[in-house]
Amino acid sequence: MPRVSGRSALAILAAPLAIGLFALSVASPASAQERVWPEILAAAEGESVYWNAWGGSESTNGYIQWVADTVEDRFGIDLVHVKLNDTAEAVRKVLAEKTAGRDEDGSVDLIWINGENFKAMKDANLLHGPLDEILPNFALIDPVEKPTTVIDFTVPTEGLEAPWGMAKIVFPYDSARLEETPGSIRELLAFAKANPGRFTYPAPPDFTGTTFLKQALHALADDPAVLLDPAGGNFAAVTAPLWAYLDELDPVLWREGTDYPKSSTEQMRMLDNGAVDIAISFNPGEASALIAQGRLPETVRTFVFDEGTIGNTHFVAIPYNAAHKDAAMVVANFLMGPEAQARKQDATVWGDQTVLSVAKLSAEQRALFADLPRGPATLPPNALGPSLPEPHPTWMTRIEEHWLTRYGS
C-alpha cells in the first residue's frame, strides 16, 4: 500500500478553504478590533467562567489550574474547571438547555472540544462566534501552515472554535524491556503475538482508544482517502480489514482482551508498573512529563510508525447561550497567546505542540519557545513522522458503536 503523507492528504482538502478562512480572520481592520476588545476585557472583569474540560490527567488539570490562577490575577476572572469524563456530557447539557428554551444564562461557558462533538454542536447551531473576528491572538495563527487549526476532523471551523493545542499519536515504551519497536500496525500485531499480554489499548469511547482504531483503519484500508468523506453504505466494506485485524489482536492482548484500561492515563500506570511494554499517548511530550513527575521510569522512550500517525488540533468553543461570553472569550484568547502556548509546550508541564506560527511571533515571543526542555522521552520534531489526517467524524462514531458490539461486552 502506498505511503500517504498526512500533510499532503490534508493539504489537498484544506488549502483553498484555509486560505479563505485566514483572509476572513485578518480582514477586520485593526481599529475595529481595538475598539471592541477593550470593551470585552472590561466587561469580563468579575465574571466566572465554567470551563467544561476533560479531567482525566493530572498534567492537564495542573495546567488548567495555572490558567485559572493567571486569568484571575490578570483579568479578574474566576475560572472554574468542570471536570468531564467525556466531552459529550457538555454537549448533551447545552442541547438539553436549548430544548428547554434556555437560550440565555446557560450553565456552560467554555468547552474543550473537537471532532464529532464539535460537528454535533455546529450542526445544531449551539456555538457562539465567529471568534476569529474577535480574538486578537487569532492573528498569530497561520492556517495555511497548520490547516487543522481551521479544519476539525475535515469539518471547517468557520471561527466557531479557537485552536488551543496540537496532538499526535505516539507510543511510549520502556527501553529497559523492549529493544526493538514495531514500525507499523502490522508489526505491532506481530509483537503482540510474540509477547502475549504485553500490549493493550484503552476501551472506546475513550478518545485515545478510538484513535488507535482509526490509526489501524488508516493503515489497513484499501484507500484511506475515503475516510475524509462521511461514512455511508461503504462502512462495512471499508472497515472489514480493521475487524479482521482486531480479531487476531484481541486474544493476545493484556488479559486476553477480556478487559481494557478505561483511559490512556490508566494505560500509562500499567506501563509504569510493568503490566505492559507499550502504551499509547496523544501527546508527544506526555511521557517526558510523567518521568519528570516520577510517574514513569526514566528508561521510557517513545516511537511512531514509519508511515506516520494520526494528528489533530484541539480547540475551545463557547456555547451560544453561555452566561459569561465576554469572560469566556478572554480565556480563549489567553489560551492562544504565546505565554500560555509556551507553557503548554513545556514537556515538564504538558508537552503539547503549539498552534501558533513561529514566523508570526516577535523575537521576545519566540524566545519563550526557544529554550523549552524537550524531555528524555520526547521525539524531536523531525523524528515524529508525517501527521495523518483524522477521518470524518461519522467514521469515529460508527467505529465506536461497532467496537462496543464486538469487543465491549
Radius of gyration of the chain (CA): 21
What is the pLDDT at residue 8? 31
What is the pLDDT at residue 1? 27
Nearest to 317 by CA among 180, 89, 175, 127: 127
Task: Please give the distance of CA 319 from its chain centroid, rounded to a whole number.
Answer: 19
Quick one: DSSP state of residue 206?
S
Q: Are 208 and 273 in contact (CB under 8 A)?
A: no
Fold match flag (6-165+313-373 vs 171-310+388-407): yes
End-to-end C-alpha distance for the chain, whole angstroms: 33
The per-residue pLDDT string of the chain (409 residues; one tens digit each, 9 = 90 and over) reads: 222 223 333 333 333 333 344 433 333 334 344 548 999 999 999 999 999 999 988 889 999 999 999 999 999 999 999 999 899 999 999 999 999 999 999 999 999 999 999 999 999 999 999 999 999 999 999 999 999 999 999 999 999 999 999 999 999 999 999 999 999 999 999 999 999 999 999 999 999 999 999 999 999 999 999 999 999 999 999 999 999 999 999 999 999 999 999 999 999 999 999 999 999 999 998 999 899 889 999 999 999 999 999 999 999 999 999 999 999 999 999 999 999 999 999 888 888 889 999 999 999 999 999 888 888 999 988 899 888 999 999 999 999 999 999 998 6
User: Sign of the C-alpha dihedral, residues 379, 382, 385, 391?
Assistant: positive
Cell matching residue 83: 471536570
How many angstroms separate the CA atoms of 176 and 178, rounded?
Answer: 6
The domain defined by 6-165+313-373 folds into D-Maltodextrin-Binding Protein; domain 2 (3.40.190)
Q: Are 74 and 104 in contact (CB under 8 A)?
A: no
How many angstroms separate the CA atoms of 250 and 407, rounded?
Answer: 8
What is the pLDDT at residue 24? 37
CA angle 318, 228, 5 (to 5 degrees): 105
Domain extents for the chain?
Answer: 6-165+313-373, 171-310+388-407
What is the pLDDT at residue 25? 38
Backbone angles phi and psi of 144, in degrees to 5? -75, -40
CA angle 126, 132, 133 (to 5 degrees): 105
CATH code for the domain defined by 171-310+388-407: 3.40.190.10
What is the pLDDT at residue 409? 65
